[in-house]
């Protein structure tokens, strides 16, 4: 393609475009040099994956994107997400070359003293979300693009660089379908099609037409380019910026290890640094390709972003009375809708279950802040993470069991310290007749194992309502577990439920056993308390609504007051749930703990039948208490 054609397209003179192309080629060579140098110094890394994408990244950073290189968090910046996170040295080199930090820092790659880790994390100011588990960057990019188009009404663009290998991940196609549905013409994905995976060539290798057919089939504007030709790349990005009505994907044909003859397009070089001798020779060769007098260009400046109100007000009091019976999932929906009135940063995401999670209440009142993701839980969590990176407070809700499908996204969101709030409804055998495939019985274990994730399990509508507000005010990931059955309201409007707390609902000076529970089994424990009282076994009942962090002080005090005897009851599998959290909190205290939990794959049935069948009913609690005391 002639320079003149690009000049005509961009409206610039042929001389300025020629200067820009010289600069991009020069920068791409520098990015290859720095990526090789850093990975060889580290003794590990992915230099060949960096080399294949160097021209793409150089074109974006020095010819296309509008951003403030000294302020990566500036709201008006174009966004760049490196979904193929193993090419992290290339990303670091680009920001160093842009002037954010000194290039001498690059050789500290992968060391304990540096935040330039093996894969990017938001410890770095220029990283919005952690990547490295492949197939996740596009969903986060969609969240950022949605924020720009529908929430902030801002003109920044979002670019996501994917690898061809990760294109096999199903989450990519969840994301692709959703981006088309939302007409995200401010989103541009780039696939670095370098043909080689980690252990084998990719499925399609360099069949660019097949790639185009797939993306076009998903409704994307698909462009095929030579990924090592900055002029072609510039033309494609210009095309993408003018295209309306659908997202664009740039399908870039590249070669792994480009610029290093002995390893270019050769198998078995994934994730392998060059030896010191190989690196020296490669750098010497690349250095000879540098422009002796590169033109000086200015990075394009971003526009000032629109300013939107962010003031919040206290949540209105819960609308419940002690005579009411309300499912906690329903109270969640009511609280979320009320929260939307007082906090403009709150947004809600659904996976086609809004009439079961009651997020439809929020959707009805705030349709512009509600995003239906359909049955694509992975994408929903990834989109929420992208929105959180833009300062929003996303609540994403579905059945607790279906969040297991999105667990890798949840894990990466935890690594990102993403400020997302997840709600899992229909937890436990108490959902009844739908059977085990619909019963979330491992969700507490799944969420509690991730550091920094708050896990809440309200038992009544009042507690649920207050915990939704607590979740919104807490900076960090929060999981709220809710139940399907209606349960009586236990608490008054005056009660508060701080994260990390618990409630002692029944106690006396003569208590002989502490029963710790939450959710639907709390009501079984209260029934058991009355029966045990009649046979001379007074018990203390704790509503452990906050499982992580846990109220260790109250647990220890109650255990000591009841002869160091504790019984836990939970509508969850035995491993990793409330009982194990209590055991950990009481470790070393000489406390005898017995757990009542679901210990087999459950059956369909009535909720009350199932609670009794699997040892969680008042009857089972009474029998266990007798044995303990």
b (16+ CB within 10 A) / e for 154-163: bebbbbbbbb
586 three-state secondary structure: helix
- Cα angle 131, 62, 93; round to 5: 45
CA distances from 385 to 2, 99, 144 (A): 41, 28, 9
pLDDT at 110 over 70: yes
Rounded-to-integer distance, Cα 109 and Cα 118, Å = 7
Instruction: Provide the token pair at 83.
Output: 């979904």
**Which pLDDT value is given to residue 2?**
32
CA 419 to chain centre: 9
- What are the φ and ψ backbone dihedral angles of 239, each rounded to 5 degrees? -60, -45
Rounded-to-integer distance, Cα 281 and Cα 288, Å = 11
Q: pLDDT band at 297, cuts 50/70/90?
A: confident
pLDDT at 464 over 90: yes
pLDDT at 5 over 90: no
Average pLDDT, the chain: 96
Annotated catalytic residue: which of 41, 117, 330, 377?
Answer: 377
Residue partners of 390: CB distance under 8 A and separation at least 6: 75, 143, 144, 147, 148, 151, 152
Rounded-to-integer distance, Cα 514 and Cα 504, Å = 10
Query: Which DSSP state fits 64?
Result: I
424 three-state secondary structure: strand
Instruction: Provide the token pair at 156.
Output: 């920044």
Closest CA to 252 of 132, 141, 155, 159: 159
Q: Which whole number is the average pLDDT over 597-609?
A: 98
Rounded-to-integer distance, Cα 283 and Cα 107, Å = 14
Q: pLDDT band at 11, cuts 50/70/90?
A: low
Tens-digit pLDDT profile for residues 508-550: 999 999 999 999 999 999 999 999 999 999 999 999 999 999 9
Rounded-to-integer distance, Cα 381 and Cα 411, Å = 10
Closest CA to 148 of 391, 374, 380: 391
Intra-chain end-to-end CA distance of the chain, in Å: 85
Closest CA to 418 of 466, 456, 385, 380: 385
CA distances from 185 to 56, 80, 84, 95, 164 (A): 20, 15, 22, 26, 22
Tens-digit pLDDT profile for residues 112-138: 999 999 999 999 999 999 999 999 999
pLDDT at 9 over 60: no
pLDDT at 8 over 80: no
- What are the φ and ψ backbone dihedral angles of 542, each rounded to 5 degrees? -115, 130
Q: For the sheet containing 346-350, what is the strand order?
A: 370-372, 346-350, 393-399, 421-425, 478-481, 454-456, 546-548
Rounded-to-integer distance, Cα 359 and Cα 352, Å = 10
pLDDT at 10 over 80: no
Tens-digit pLDDT profile for residues 314-337: 998 999 999 999 999 999 999 999
Q: Which whole number is the average pLDDT over 607-628?
A: 98
Query: Which DSSP state fits 306?
Result: P
- 169 in catalytic set: no
Contact 177, 376 (CB under 8 A): yes
**Which pLDDT value is given to residue 7?**
45
Q: pLDDT band at 103, cuts 50/70/90?
A: very high
**Which pLDDT value is given to residue 3?**
33
Residue partners of 451: CB distance under 8 A and separation at least 6: 414
Tens-digit pLDDT profile for residues 346-382: 999 999 999 999 999 999 999 999 999 999 999 999 9
Own/partner pairs, 169-175, CB within 8 angstroms, 24+ separation: 169/134, 169/135, 170/135, 170/378, 171/135, 171/136, 171/138, 171/139, 171/378, 171/379, 171/382, 171/409, 172/135, 172/138, 173/218, 174/139, 174/376, 174/378, 174/379, 175/138, 175/139, 175/142, 175/379, 175/382
Contact 429, 483 (CB under 8 A): no
Share of the chain above pLDDT 70, in %: 98
Cβ-count burial of 56 within 10 angstroms (0-12 exposed, 13-18 middle, 19+ buried)?
A: buried
Rounded-to-integer distance, Cα 497 and Cα 478, Å = 14
State yes or no: cis peptide before 549, omega within 30 of 0: yes
Q: Which whole number is the average pLDDT over 441-452?
A: 98
Rounded-to-integer distance, Cα 625 and Cα 535, Å = 11
- DSSP of 186-241: TEEEEEEE-SB-SSSB-SSTT-HHHHHHHHHHTT-EEEEEETT-HHHHHHHHHHHH
Rounded-to-integer distance, Cα 359 and Cα 282, Å = 57
Instruction: Name the pairing type of β-strands 478-481 and 454-456.
Output: parallel
Closest CA to 393 of 384, 382, 381: 384
Cα Rg of the chain (Å, integer): 28
Q: How many helices (H) and strands (E) would you count in the chain?
A: 21, 19
76 three-state secondary structure: coil
**Which pLDDT value is given to residue 12?**
67
* 3-class SS string, 32-43: HHHHHHHHHHHC
**Which pLDDT value is given to residue 4?**
34
Q: Which whole number is the average pLDDT over 243-262?
A: 97
Rounded-to-integer distance, Cα 396 and Cα 384, Å = 7
Q: Look-up: residue for tokens 């304990």?
A: 112
b (16+ CB within 10 A) / e for 530-558: eebeeeebbbbbbbbbbbbebbbebbeeb
Q: Which domains does the chain have, with CATH numbers?
A: 17-110+121-288 (3.40.50.970), 325-488 (3.40.50.970), 503-628 (3.40.50.920)
Q: pLDDT band at 310, cuts 50/70/90?
A: confident
Rounded-to-integer distance, Cα 212 and Cα 517, Å = 54
Give 7 or 439, the one with higher predicted confidence: 439
Instruction: Provide the token pair at 463.
Output: 């507690």
Contact 319, 326 (CB under 8 A): no
- DSSP of 331-342: HHHHHHHHHHHH
């Amino acid at each position: 393609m002639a320079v003149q054609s690009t000049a005509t397209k961009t409206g610039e003179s042929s001389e300025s475009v020629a200067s820009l192309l010289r600069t991009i080629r020069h920068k791409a060579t520098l990015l290859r040099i720095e990526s090789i140098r850093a990975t060889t110094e580290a003794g590990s890394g992915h230099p060949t994956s960096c080399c294949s994408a160097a021209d793409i990244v150089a074109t974006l950073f020095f010819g296309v994107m509008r951003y403030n290189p000294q302020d990566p968090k500036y709201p008006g910046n174009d966004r760049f997400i490196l979904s193929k996170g193993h090419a992290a040295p290339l990303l670091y080199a680009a920001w160093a070359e842009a002037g954010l930090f000194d290039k001498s820092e690059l050789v500290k790659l992968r060391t304990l003293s540096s935040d330039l880790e093996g894969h990017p994390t938001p410890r770095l100011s220029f990283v919005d979300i952690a990547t490295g588990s492949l197939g996740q960057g596009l969903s986060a990019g969609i969240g950022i693009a949605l924020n720009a188009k529908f929430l902030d009404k801002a003109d920044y663009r979002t670019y996501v660089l994917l690898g061809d290998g990760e294109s096999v991940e199903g989450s990519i196609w969840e994301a692709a379908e959703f981006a088309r549905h939302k007409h995200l013409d401010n989103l541009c994905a780039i696939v670095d099609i370098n043909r080689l995976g980690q252990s084998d060539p990719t499925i399609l290798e360099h069949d660019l037409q097949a790639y185009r057919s797939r993306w076009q089939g998903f409704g994307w504007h698909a462009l095929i380019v030579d990924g090592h030709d900055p002029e072609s790349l510039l033309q494609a990005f210009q095309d993408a910026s003018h295209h309306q009505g659908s997202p664009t994907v740039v399908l870039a044909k590249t070669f792994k290890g480009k610029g290093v003859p002995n390893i270019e397009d050769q198998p078995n070089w994934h994730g392998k640094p060059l030896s010191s001798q190989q690196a020296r020779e490669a750098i010497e060769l690349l250095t000879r390709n540098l422009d002796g007098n590169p033109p000086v260009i200015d990075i394009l400046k971003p526009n000032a972003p629109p300013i939107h109100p962010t003031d919040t007000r206290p949540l209105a009091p819960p609308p419940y009375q002690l005579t009411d019976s309300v499912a906690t999932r329903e109270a969640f929906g009511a609280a979320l809708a009320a929260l939307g009135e007082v906090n403009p940063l709150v947004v809600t995401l659904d996976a086609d279950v809004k009439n079961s999670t009651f997020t439809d209440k929020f959707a009805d009142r705030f349709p512009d802040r509600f995003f239906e993701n359909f049955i694509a839980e992975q994408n929903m969590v990834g989109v929420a993470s992208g929105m959180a990176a833009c300062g929003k407070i996303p609540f994403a809700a579905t059945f607790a069991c279906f969040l297991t499908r999105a667990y890798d996204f949840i894990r990466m969101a935890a690594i990102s310290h993403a400020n997302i709030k997840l709600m899992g409804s229909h937890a436990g055998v108490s959902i009844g007749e739908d059977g085990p495939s619909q019963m979330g019985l491992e969700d507490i274990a799944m969420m509690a194992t991730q550091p920094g994730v708050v896990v809440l399990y309200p038992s009544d509508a009042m507690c649920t309502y207050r915990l939704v507000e607590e979740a919104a005010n807490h900076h960090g990931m929060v999981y709220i577990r809710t139940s399907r059955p209606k349960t009586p309201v236990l608490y008054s409007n005056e009660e508060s439920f701080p994260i990390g707390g618990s409630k002692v609902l029944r106690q006396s000076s003569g208590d002989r056993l502490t029963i710790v529970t939450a959710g639907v089994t709390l009501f079984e424990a209260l029934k058991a308390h009355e029966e045990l009282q009649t046979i001379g076994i007074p018990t203390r009942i704790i509503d452990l609504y906050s499982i992580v962090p846990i109220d260790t002080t109250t647990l220890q005090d109650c255990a000591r007051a009841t002869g160091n005897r504790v019984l836990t009851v939970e509508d969850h599998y035995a491993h990793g749930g409330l009982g194990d959290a209590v055991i950990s909190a009481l470790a070393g205290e000489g406390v005898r703990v017995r757990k009542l939990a679901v210990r087999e794959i459950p059956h369909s049935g009535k909720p009350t039948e199932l609670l009794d069948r699997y040892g969680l009913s008042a009857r089972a609690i009474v029998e266990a208490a007798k044995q303990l005391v």
